[in-house]
A and B are shown apart, each in its own frame.
Chain A
Amino acid sequence: MAQLLPFVPVPALLGFILLALVPLRLPRALVTGIGVVSAVLPALVMLPVLVSCVGGDACQAGTVINIISINVSAFTAEIAMALDPVSVVGGITVAFISAMVLIYAGAYMSEEPVADLRRFFAYMNLFLAGMLAVVLAADAVLLFLGWETIGLCSFLLIAFYTKKPKSLAAGTKALVTTRIADSLLLGGLMLLFLATGTTRFDGMLAKVGSIDSWQLTAIAALIATGALGKSAQVPFHTWLPSAMAGPTPVSALLHSATMVAAGVILLVRLSPLIAASPDVAAVVALLGLGTALLTATAALIQRDIKKLLAFSTMSQIGFMVLAVGMGSPAAALAHFAIHAVFKSLLFLSAGILSHGAHGSTAIEALRGSRRRMPLPFWSFAVGAASLAGLPVITAGWYSKEAVLAAVWSSGLWGVPLWALGVIAAVLTAAYSFRVVLVAASDGPEKAPAPWDGLAVWVPLATLATLAILSGFTVNALIGFAGGLPEHLPLLAVLLGAAAPLAGLALAFQFERDPRQLRRLAARLRHRKIFRADSLYYLIFVRNFRRTTKRLSGPIDGNNGAVQMPEPPLVLDVVRLVSGDPIGRALVTAAIRIANTIVARFNPDRIDLAWMSFARSFGGAWARARLIQTGRLREQSLGLALGFVGLLLFAWGTSWR
């Protein structure tokens, strides 16, 4: 069964090649067909593998399948995939969710021109292949290959509507932010490779004990930072809200369920490494918890449904990261799987709901969806309930409880952190139910015809069912992934169960009296003076620099190529970051730094230096010309002085 693993990403890769590289003109039906089928096949290939793992310990040990070996005389790198709990759980989740989302996308994107549709499916399939590579990889090379591929696809898909500068700016922001994290990850992986002598994960992890602790901390920190960047945790969290500029299926697949969870998958795979350096683990856990709280608060005051779901994703991933930091990767893995299910469900239903609101993604526009489009509304409600973690009946509760239980029983700081986690759970329930209540309230009755057909209902129904039923599998999942289900005192369990209900109550309160929410939002956005300050400063500073550069005129230094200095990053980026003071500060600081450094380099100063050196010869020549007066007397003087000089020279050489 393990031999099937390398073939799992192959259909998606073939789909990409067919759609992107074959120069024939393909009709719309064929494009959609290829795109969807290539995304569904990996799930089908993954099924036998899953079945062989259910019941029995076949997959616990982790068999590794070599794909190719790279021999560069000094070292051998084996590209390999592993069949172990992480890859099975991750693989089936990714494959299944992708299948669902792309089936939906076949209907959702049906109004796009054929060329754009083809591009969309090509990138989505390439993304799927890359993501499967990340999840199934047993060695660092394949993992990083997939990692960067999904980063690039994310850029191309966010910037899918290439005519909108906002999408381009959002895509660039995502790519640059994740690249910063990726380069740190690469550094960490390289150091790990040099310290352990192998690129295979099992080999690396086996030798973790033999690396000296200073280096181990550095490696763990670098890798953790890389993972956090891809998963949009603080301080890398600014790119995800603006990444919502892409089409809804992109947000549903990449930026909720799979790509952003790639960081979590990496951390889970390398959890022995993280566990071996407690400092790094503690920082990771705290960052996760901090992100969970901060972004849950930000989600509460959002006015756009997609941005709310983006913040919610960051918050839930914060929970997963917290679990890993607390030493329970199995709980994180379980929550990843469950979260993928309900988050994609939420996005898909939100897409239909906003279509029913004439394309607006504002939460207010969703009013009356309960009567307008009942089925999407109820699937959204199910998803929201699972997100909030309504006790017992939703899958979300089980996985979140597993995470919180892991936090509680993790030692000295367990209880206070658990309490903070519960607060985050309350906030989660509050924001998710708020949207449901808004959508449930009365509003306009008429709606444009929804997309119909199996392509839309099947994914929604399947995901909704799973969002409720898969709760019972959570314990099995955790056991499968090698974790131990924790047992908490009854009080803690009850408090945990009460949290989503408290959130529901809070949501009712906000819905009944919206002014409270607005006041809260205003107080949080009061730090917008921060934003106004930075905007003002940027505008002022940027124009000031432009003016000085024009005055100093570096143009003539460059032969023939006229250079206008231009700041490289778009200002819109700041406007895209809404409701998030830390994010704003980071972005403005980054822009300021970039402008200072890059702008200073723009007229190539070394080139200007060389050219002024060259021109100085001209100046010296002009001065030397003055000696040539053409007059007889001065020439004779020169003659005489030279003669005297020669005489002196001759006299001097006669000394010895």
Chain B
Amino acid sequence: MALIALLLLPLLGGLAAYIVAGKGRGDAERWVTIVTLAATLAVLILAMAGSGDGRWMAQVMVPWVPSLGISINFALDGLSAALIAIAAGLGIICVMASWRDIRVDSGLFHACVCWTIAATIGVFMSFDLLVFVFFWEAMLIPSFMLIAIWGHGDKEGAALKFLIFNAVAGFGLLAAVFALASMAGHMTFNAFELAELKLSPTAQVWLLLGFSLAFLVKLSVPPFHAWLPDAHTLAPTAGSILLAGVLLKTGGYGLFRFAPMLFPDGLAVLAPYALALGAAGALYGGFVACGQTDAKRLVAYTSIAHMSIVLMGVAAGVHYALAGAAVEMVAHSFSASALFMLIGALYERTQTRDLRQLGGLQQTAPRFAAAFAMFCSALLALPGTANFVGEALVVVGIFQVNWPFALVALSTLIVSVVYATRLLKGVVFGEARPRHVIDLSWREYVPVIVLSVATLVVGLYPQSLIALLEPAIKAALVLKLP
């Protein structure tokens, strides 16, 4: 029951925000959204605290179309809970970040934010594959609107690119899901039942490729990443936060959850290629990031690099690597969202994101500078931040499987220093341009503090997070070490 509420709350909350915005004073819809998302978090904590059966914290199973095997099948475990919490939390941060920014059609804006979060919650919870695909595609519409209506620059083009890439990739997922569903004796979309099927490795490989296409495009691993830089750069601040912090993780979540569960042999076959793809992608993303002059675009390319590392972690398939991939997903949500929020706040004040025209925040706005320094340290994976824990665990895991790729993964640490210092120098150091920048207000500073604390807590005491994710990690362990 709680799980259905988790889904319905943001949905209805978005509708409420849309309605409320029409009448009433300026900020009613923002408060409605915040309250809705806070309620979602509360329900989530309730669901987590409830009695589970060890593997799952909460489960809902309601048949929907029995003749076709479709059911409402939600299940919550540590990984889903963590990601849903991040989704709701980042939603609140989105609202706070766009308090002054979004003035036109703000009811629809907040509705889109809520509906995106609702769709991602559906993705994180569904274990009926058709419902999963439904939510997967449903994520696209509100986020498309977020970019196309409230973005900057060539926003329609960027939104269209985002939509086409992800929708076309979604066809691969859809085809694979239907093929898989019809392979059982009677048609069923229940992932648990389908996991029992013993398919031939060839079939598994093909189906996994279909699934992976959608996941890799969403995860933005090169060469499928091309939608991300434009979408992230030209989206409004809230859009970028949701894209980087939540939507990218749905791809990682899909790979993490369904690939080992449904296609263990296929994964074993494709793992080396995935590892290579991830390695190439991490280096590629890092290199391109080093050459960027637009701050948001730089962070977008670093997201590509970090998500490629998540792919490497999932592909390696050993305990450390999986733990690292999961932690990296969470850590990246924190740092990327924080950076996008900060850059958005800077853009509000200076109307530019060009690193060559910014600088000197150290003198004009020390709080801003400190926040940037904190999250640039997270970007370069400083030990003590959650990002380091994630990446280090992934590298340790890869060392167990294939040491040349581990060395490549280590070299991404070197590249990360170059782009992190590039961002830091472009924004914080140097001559003060423009001369006066209003420092962060409390509304902007509180999310920064929350995200910094989260990063440091996970970085210095990782078992707080890893213990939560443990059942999911164990379930994803299919590769046997030689």
Q: Do chains A and B touch in the complex (CB under 8 A)?
A: yes
Chain A residues contacting B362 (CB-CB under 8 Å) are: 119, 162
Kindly identify which residue among B233, B363, B414 contacts A179, using a CB–CB cutoff of 8 Å: B414
Whether a CB of chain A sits under 8 angstroms from the CB of B406 is yes
Among B229, B291, B429, which residue has its beta carbon within 8 angstroms of that of A602? B291
Across the interface, do A74 and B319 meet the contact criterion of CB distance under 8 Å? yes
Contact A561 B229 (CB under 8 A): yes
- Any chain A CB within 8 A of the CB of B461? yes
Contact of B230 with A558 in the complex, beta carbons under 8 Å: yes
Give chain B interface residues in 393-449, CB to chain A under 8 Å.
393, 395-396, 399-400, 403, 406-407, 410-411, 413-414, 417-418, 421-422, 425, 428-431
- Closest A residue to B432 by beta carbon equals A163
Is B150 an interface residue, CB under 8 A from the partner?
no
For chain A, the count of residues having a C-beta within 8 Å of the partner chain is 61
**B interface residues, tally (CB under 8 Å):** 71
Alpha-carbon distance between A119 and B320 when the two chains are bound, in angstroms = 38
Q: Does A476 contact B (CB under 8 A)?
A: no
Q: Could you tell me the distance in whole angstroms from the C-beta of B382 to the nearest C-beta in chain A?
A: 5
Q: Are B414 and A163 in contact (CB under 8 A)?
A: no
B417 with A176: CB separation less than 8 A: yes
B50 interfacial by beta-carbon distance below 8 Å? no
6 additional contacts, CB 8 Å, given A187-B406, A597-B287, A610-B223? A115-B366, A162-B430, A163-B360, A163-B430, A190-B396, A609-B226
Interface check B157, CB cutoff 8 A: yes
Question: Considering the complex, which residues of chain A in the window 132-163 have a beta carbon less than 8 Å from any beta carbon of chain B?
Answer: 141, 144-145, 147-149, 152, 155-156, 159, 162-163
A sample of 10 inter-chain contacts (CB < 8 A) reads A73-B470, A179-B417, A194-B396, A558-B230, A561-B294, A566-B293, A598-B291, A601-B288, A606-B222, A606-B226
A144 touches B292 (CB 8 A): no
B153 within 8 A of A: yes
Residue B202, interface by CB 8 Å? no
Q: Which residues of A contact B287 (CB under 8 A)?
A: 597-598, 601
CB-based closest 10 A-B pairs: A560-B153, A560-B154, A602-B291, A162-B429, A610-B226, A601-B287, A607-B226, A145-B383, A179-B417, A559-B157
User: Which residue on B lies nearest to A608, using beta carbons?
Assistant: B226
Of A64-72, A285-293, A337-345, A441-449, the one with at least 4 CB within 8 A of chain B:
A64-72
Given A190-B395, A607-B229; A148-B383 close (CB under 8 Å): yes
Quote the shortest CB–CB distance from B379 to chain A (angstroms): 12
Contacting residues, chain B, for A610 (C-beta < 8 A): 223, 226
Centre residue among B158, B297, B396 by max chain A CB count within 10 A: B396
Instruction: Establish whether residues A568 and B422, one from each chain, have CB atoms under 8 Å apart when the complex forms.
Output: yes
Candidates B234, B393, B461; contact of A561 at CB < 8 Å: B234
Interface centre among B319, B417, B428, B470, by most A CB within 10 Å? Answer: B417
In the complex, B106 has a CB within 8 A of chain A: no
Decide yes or no whether B335 CB sits under 8 A from chain A: no
B153 cross-chain contacts in A, Cβ below 8 A? 559-561
Question: Are A183 and B292 interface neighbours, CB within 8 A?
Answer: no
Q: Say whether B291 contacts A568, CB under 8 Å.
A: yes
The verdict on A598 contacting B290 (CB below 8 Å), with A184-B410, A193-B396 known, is yes
* Distance of A293 from chain B, by nearest CB (Å): 29
> Of B154, B291, B467, which is within 8 A of A559 by CB?
B154
Other-chain contact of B384, A71, A72, A119, A149 (Cβ < 8 Å): A149
Q: Which of B414, B429, B474 contacts A159 (CB 8 A)?
A: B429
Compute how far the CA of A318 lies from the CA of B370 in the bound complex, rounded to whole angstroms.
37
Bound CA span A568–B467, Å: 41
A652 at the interface (CB under 8 A from B): no
Asked whether any CB of chain B lies closer than 8 Å to the CB of A430, the reply is no
The answer to whether A604 touches B226 (Cβ under 8 A) is yes
Distance, CA A378 to CA B33, complexed state (A): 71
Beta-carbon contact of B288 and A602 below 8 Å: yes
Chain B neighbourhood of A187, CB < 8 A: 395, 399, 406-407, 410
Contacts of A141 in B (CB 8 A): 383
Q: CB-CB < 8 A to B411: which residues of A?
A: 183
Interface: A611 (CB within 8 A): yes
Beta-carbon contact of B421 and A155 below 8 Å: yes
Q: B284 at interface (Cβ–Cβ under 8 A)?
A: yes
CA of A183 to CA of B391, assembled, Å: 12
Give the residues in chain A near B380, CB-CB below 8 Å: 179
Cβ-closest chain A residue relative to B395: A190
A313 interface hit (Cβ, 8 Å): no
A194 to B397, CA, bound (A): 9
In the complex, chain A residues whose CB is within 8 Å of the CB of B360: 162-163
Do A194 and B157 have beta carbons less than 8 Å apart? no
Q: Is A176 in contact with B414, judged by CB distance below 8 angstroms?
A: yes
Given A558-B229, A560-B234, A561-B153, is A168 in contact with B425 using a C-beta cutoff of 8 Å? Answer: yes
Q: Output the nearest chain A residue to B473 by Cβ-Cβ distance.
A: A73
Residues of B within 8 A of A563 (CB): 292-294, 297
User: At the interface, yes or no: A403 with Cβ under 8 Å from chain B?
Assistant: no
State the Cβ distance, B294 to closest chain A Cβ, in Å. 5
Q: Is the CB of B430 within 8 A of A168?
A: yes
A598 to B161, alpha carbons, bound, how many Å? 25
- CB neighbours of A182 from chain B (8 A): 413
Chain A residue nearest to B416 (CB atoms) is A179
Q: Which residue of the partner chain, among A68, A175, A568, contacts B290 with CB atoms under 8 Å?
A: A568
Residue of B nearest to A144 (CB): B383
Please name all residues of chain B whose beta carbon is closer than 8 Å to the beta carbon of A20 when the two chains form the complex: 370
CA distance A609 to B284 in the complex (A): 15
A149 B400 Cβ-Cβ under 8 A: no
* A604 and B288 contacting across the interface, CB-CB below 8 Å: yes
Within the assembled complex, what's the spacing in Å between the Cα atoms of A147 and B363? 28
Q: B177: shortest Cβ distance to chain A, in Å? A: 25
Cβ of A55 under 8 Å from chain B = no
- Assembled-state Cα–Cα distance A565/B356 (Å): 12
Across the interface, A172 reaches (CB within 8 A) one of B157, B414, B421, namely B421
Q: How far is the CA of A484 from the CA of B429 in the complex (A)?
A: 50
Kindly state whether residue A599 has any CB partner on chain B within 8 Å: yes
Task: Give Cα A141–Cα B459 distance, bound, in whole angstroms.
Answer: 12
Contact check, A559 vs B230: say whether CB atoms are below 8 A apart.
yes
Give the shortest distance, in Å, between A9 (CB) and chain B (any CB).
13
A542 to chain B, nearest CB (A): 13
With a cutoff of 8 Å between Cβ atoms, the chain A residues found around residue B392 in the complex are 186, 190
CB distance from A452 to the nearest CB of B (A): 30
